[in-house]
Amino acid sequence: MSSASSDPRNLCLLVVFNTPLVVAWLNTLNNEHLLRTSNSQSDYNRDKCWKSEKGLRVWNVSSEGIPTPNAQGLYQGVDVVLITASALQVNPSICWVTKTKWHTVVADEGHDYLRGQHNACPGRLSLTLRNWYNLQLKTKSMFIITGTPFVTKISYDVVAITKAVACEQIRRIWGKEYTDAGLDELVRGWRSELSTMDPVVATQQENLRELVKDKLALFMIRRDENSCIRGQPVMVDYFKQCTVYEEPLVPSDNGHEAAYRDTLYRQHYGNSETYTKTHNDIMRCLSWSYRFIRWQGLRESQKGSFWNDFTLDEAERQLRTRTLIKILKEGKKTGNGVILFVQRVFLAEMCIKAIHLLRSSN
């Protein structure tokens, strides 16, 4: 950065997406909040992160208000100033977090507020991004914490997240491809869909994806075992340690279950021969539980009691759910954890209910 390294700076500004995330961070940064909220001494001893009377001193702006700096612009007796992203949604002329200098700025779940909108008018930045880019000039280092950096239009998100990591002055040092113009050129020609492409075009797209991946690896921790910091591995590939159940399930009822599912669909949604996204979503949920028809028609206030009469016997009546129960039972018997990936709220609710029933059973 342009400012001298000897300039006084506050230690850390931590930005979280919303208030619920504040609690988790307070429990991690010091023991005081955890001590006040733990149900028992044993819970506290199990979860504490620091030795007694140690930890970082946190100023939580959500509960304590904006801190007052001293004449040097420092917040005395404070290690970490914690704010929510809403603190950046103000006119840049009055944004207090950009009026002081920081050693480090951390954005938790940064993809939620540092990407902007891919369909926004060119040159029109949100207040949050305008303040964030000003903040880049006030710190020595920035970290963005996210497990999903690309969530809308990937070619747009790649550029937006990279710009959020550092100002162009810093990115230019990394290489010309990291400048604003270089990033735009890097993703030029990106196409989202590969399955319907000409093989030659598909190969070109795969090469482009590999190139983008390698460029991002300069400043991102990749989620594989090759990720290192100062030569030390920082990731464990837990998926390699898992038994993955992805083989197709083959019914043994001569097609009766599938036929009944088709009949239900025609009765409630009409006779359609077109495999649309909506059709496929409905059939996916019905293949797990016929309850989906009733669930879909409920108001949110009615869904809280919907699963009260759901039983394991009911779950055993359909192939997919029966297989799920079998896997969960094996996990309970062997002591191995089970990771479930679901695509719909309905399926998540059903899985949670099934897990609860298994835990309650002998």
d(Cα 10, Cα 81) in Å, to the nearest integer? 9
Radius of gyration of the chain (CA): 26
Domain co-membership, 161 together with 302: no
Domain assignment present for 76: yes
Domain co-membership, 28 together with 174: yes
Q: How many domains would you assign to the chain?
A: 2
pLDDT at 97 over 80: yes
Percent of the chain with pLDDT over 90: 53
Domain assignment present for 227: no
Largest CA distance in the chain: 81
Domain co-membership, 158 together with 211: yes
Instruction: Return the number of other C-beta atoms located less than 10 Å from residue 159's C-beta.
Output: 19
| Per-residue model confidence as pLDDT tens digits over 127-140 | 999 999 999 999 99
d(Cα 95, Cα 92) in Å, to the nearest integer? 5
Domain co-membership, 200 together with 114: yes
Tell which residue, 92, 96, 113, has the closest CA to residue 59.
96
Domain assignment present for 25: yes
Domain co-membership, 215 together with 271: no
Domain co-membership, 206 together with 309: no
Domain co-membership, 288 together with 144: no
| Per-residue model confidence as pLDDT tens digits over 78-87 | 999 999 999 9
Q: Which amino acid is at 171?
A: R
Domain co-membership, 205 together with 271: no
Domain co-membership, 283 together with 177: no
Q: At which of 219, 238, 264 does a domain end? A: 219
| Per-residue model confidence as pLDDT tens digits over 185-233 | 999 999 877 666 788 888 899 999 999 989 998 888 876 777 777 788 8
Domain co-membership, 199 together with 348: no
Domain co-membership, 215 together with 261: no
Question: Residue 4: its pLDDT value, please?
Answer: 43
- Domain range for 350 is 256-360
Tell which residue, 9, 202, 228, has the closest CA to residue 102.
9
pLDDT at 361 over 90: no
Segment 28-50 shows an average pLDDT of 83
Q: Label residue 2 by pLDDT band (50, 70, 90).
A: very low
Instruction: Return the number of other C-beta atoms located less than 10 Å from residue 34's C-beta.
Output: 20
* CATH code, 31: 3.40.50
Q: At which of 219, 235, 266 does a domain end? A: 219
Question: Residue 119: its pLDDT value, please?
Answer: 66
Question: Residue 45: its pLDDT value, please?
Answer: 84
Q: 2: exposed, middle or buried (C-beta count within 10 Å: 0-12, 13-18, 19+)?
A: exposed
More confident residue, 51 or 211: 211
Domain assignment present for 232: no
Q: Which amino acid is at 330?
A: E
| Per-residue model confidence as pLDDT tens digits over 166-185 | 999 999 999 999 999 999 99
Domain assignment present for 185: yes
d(Cα 24, Cα 44) in Å, to the nearest integer? 14
